[in-house]
Chains A and B, each alone.
Chain A
Amino acid sequence: MDINTLIEVALITVKVILVSSILFALPIPLTWIERKVAGHIQLRLGPFRVGWHGILQPIADMIKLMFKEDIIPDKADKWLFKLAPIISLVPIFLTFATVPVGDKITVLGREITLYISDMNVGILYILAVAGIGVYGLIFGGWASNSKYALLGSMRSSAQMISYELALSFAAIGVVMVSNSLSLVDIVNSQKVSTWNICYQPLGFIIFIIAGLAEINRIPFDLSEDEGTLAAGYHVEYSSMRFSFFMLAEYVAMVLMSVLAVILFFGGWSGHAILPPIVWFLIKVSAFIYFFMWVRFTFPRYRYDQLMTIGWKILLPLSLVNILITGLFVI
């Protein structure tokens, strides 16, 4: 092995460590922001006691979660019960292997790519791997041996099947316009022409609705549905295992925002006054805020209504979208 290969390997290792630690740390600012957003939408202040404007609240929560007793129900399938939070967490982290945050930068005469790997099946890989995360919900609910949790996992499995289809079909429209499955190529193709949102308005709407369902947020958070199922699939979880589910949920929200930005809003492309990565972060934050905004505005759907929307509205619409896109592309 020559020195260049070694540096390449070292670079990838550094990037992997960097990305994972950022993802692990992300929920800290995000929970604080979500609570602040919730607070201000709901005419209250949100957390205020720990640190300046409650900024240390997530740390306090983390410490509390770590020291909470880890309860495993007596009649639970213990092996699976312990495995489920990890199953829900790992795939969502894996997806970030191919998520680009920028193109290339040159440091010390060496080109460094701002992504771990540019797969030529990028978008397909992300959707496929993110789909595995639902097993954490299903197994967690089943292993808890509780009726509420079981109902939650049944709902999430049905929901996931119906919405992943619409989500991928909406993404196919973008793939057809950009002529590539690679996320970097998709962004670069939008640099040449305009953002995909101009060509794919219908696709974007389908994508964002299906995305909301995919990451289990209101109005589609039926698998946890506080009002009906108490907490759904994670009703029996406590301590760090519970926080793993939360972590996975937040990372999924970030992933969906990142995907929306890359697929429809030109990724890191933007006016030259700001560096590309800043543009990227601004756009992603806007989407994260959007998801929070929606959460604190809408009631949630009922299970059968969710299915109706998924199969009878979104899926046919996404097929129509593909058809229209196909006509234009050809």
Chain B
Amino acid sequence: MANHEDIVTTKEITLSMGPQHPSAHGVLHLVLDMQGERILKASPDIGYLHRGTEKIAENLLYFQFVPYTDRLDYMCGMTNNLAYVQAVEKLLEIEMPERAKYIRVVAAEMSRIAGHLLSIGAWALDLGAMTVLLYAFREREMVLDLFEMLCGARMTFNYLRVGGVRRDVTPEFKEKCLEFVKLFPSRINDYEQLLTGNRIWLKRNKGVGVISAENAISLGLSGPNIRGSGVKWDIRKDEPYLVYDRIDFDIPTGENGDCFDRYMVRINEMRQSARIIEQALTQIPDGDCCADTPEIVPPKRKDIETNMESLIHHFKLISQGFKTPKGEVYSSIEAPKGELGVYIVSDGSEKPFRLKLRVPSFVNLQSVDTMCKNQYFADVIAIISSLDPVFGEVDK
């Protein structure tokens, strides 16, 4: 006679979640070992969107790689631009005019708002609250419109250039941007009204996907995900770049390290970003928006059209690029998803010898198994949303 346990047992099943799944945030393929609805093991399987970005960089002139960075974390391309050009500038050791620094801060913070809005909207959608996504898109649309005013593009900007920014800020942009920043906090209240006090939202997120501060550090989490665990680590404060040290803002942190804390951190970060933009726009000095380094920064459009020497100079610079000193450099910024670092090895030519991107989503994603263990299947969705991976970035 067959053993009792043999017959009456619940089956352990392996479920492939993704790469085609409504909550896979792109092309995440999560292999879930489940007992009923409980998760025993969650192993991410990545690489469906691999484009060999780092290898591509080795065959491109330094400035030619900027558009590729837009396609890393395509939800907030500005910060990727920033991380890359900042690394190249560090390698070149050039100093930028103040105005460019402020413009970069504004652009980066708007990018953060755009990224967090999508993150929270998609998160709510995955947990069933579809309306929040549409509300978030209303504001994201405003941010994208502002980006369009700033650089003519909405998603893939190619706005920052080595040595400055491509176009100066216009007074209309400044005015519109300040208007948006004034309006935005009330709109955040809208989302909070729909989610923060909502019993169901609390039940789905509180105590779900808990990760302790020690674990978060040892797994290399960064950005809102580590701050949700109560670790006050923000590169903007700890290793200030641009003009962040002159701007007054807070670093929101959580306590329990659960999904809800990560949600609250994102909500509060958006408020802080609005504060930063407002300060940066009011403090912004007059001046040039590019460094005065003709060997790196191409001449102005107006000069090219009227001046023969400028035209030749522009042609030479665009076709040959610029050489960098031999050496290695690592520079990182606080991207919306976490620490976005760029490591460049230069052999003295006009192309990088090796480029390595330390992308936050990739590192954050490795904590998915720790967070999902012994949680329910539906929690996996909340956890992935709270980690907010973007697959342009994870797969590179």
Contacts and interface: CB of A to CB of B under 8 A. Distances in A.
Q: Are A and B bound to each other?
A: yes
Contacts of B379: 302
Interface centre among B130, B201, B379 (most CB of A within 10 A): B130
Given A42-B135, A230-B22, A302 B128 contact: no
Interface in A249-305: 296-305
Q: Which of B23, B128, B134 has the most chain A CB within a 10 Å cutoff?
A: B128
Contact of A300 (B127, B131, B377): B127
Nearest to B24: A230
B285 to A, nearest CB: 38
Contacts of A230: 21-22
Contact of A228 (B124, B125, B201, B378): B378
Contacts of B23: 227-228
Contact of A301 (B15, B21, B22, B204): B204
Give the residue among A147, A227, A303, A305 with the most B Cβ atoms within 10 A.
A227
Q: Which of B23, B131, B198, B378 has the most CB of A within 10 A?
A: B378
A13 B72 CA distance: 65
A39 to B, nearest CB: 9
A9 B138 CA distance: 58
Interface of B: 13, 15, 21-23, 37, 124-131, 134-135, 138, 194-195, 198, 200-201, 203-204, 376-381
A197 to B, nearest CB: 23
B26 to A, nearest CB: 15
Contacts of A44: 134
Contacts of A303: 37, 376-378
B134 A42 contact: yes
Nearest to B385: A227
A226 interface: yes
A26 interface: no
Interface string A27-52: 00000000000100111100000000
B317 to A, nearest CB: 46
A296 B13 contact: no
A218 interface: yes
11 contacts: A38-B130, A42-B134, A43-B134, A147-B15, A227-B128, A228-B380, A230-B21, A298-B198, A299-B204, A303-B376, A305-B203
Nearest to A222: B378
A151 interface: yes
